[in-house]
Amino acid sequence: MAARTRSSRGAAAGWASVVAGAASVATLPLAIYLTRFSDAYELLDSAIAVPVAAAFAFLALGLASRSRRRASFVLGRVTGGGPARAGRVLGIVGLCVVASALVALGIYGLLDYVGSRE
C-alpha cells in the first residue's frame, strides 16, 4: 500500500472543499424547500440554516486555501488544482447566498417592525 504523500493530502483537501462548498450552496435552498412539507415550520424558520451555510462556506474556503498551499510545496508538476479552485468558487457562492439571505431577513424584520407600529 502506498504511503500518502503531501500532494495527495492536498488533493484530498481540495475535494473536501468542493463537498463543503456544495453543502454551503445547497443548505439554504434545501431548508426552504423542506419547510413546504411541514406544518410545524414556516418559511421564516429556515433562517436557522444561515449560520450552517456560512460555516460550510468558510470551511470550503479554508480547505481550498490549504490545498493550494500544500500544492505549492510540491516539487515538479502540480496537478489537482481544479478541485481547490472549484471549492473556492463554491465557497464564495455560498457566502453570497448567505449574504442575500441575511439581507432578506433584515428587510423582513424591518417591514415587520414598521408594520407593527401602525
Predicted TM-score of the model (pTM): 0.82
Looking at residue 49, what is its pLDDT? 93
Looking at residue 29, what is its pLDDT? 94
- 35, with CB counted inside 10 A (0-12, 13-18, 19+), is middle
Sequence letter at residue 7: S
Profile the chain (118 residues) by mean pLDDT over runs of 10 residues.
54 87 95 90 89 96 85 62 88 96 93 85
Report CA Rg, the chain: 19
The whole-angstrom distance between residue 75's C-alpha and the CA centroid of its chain comes to 31
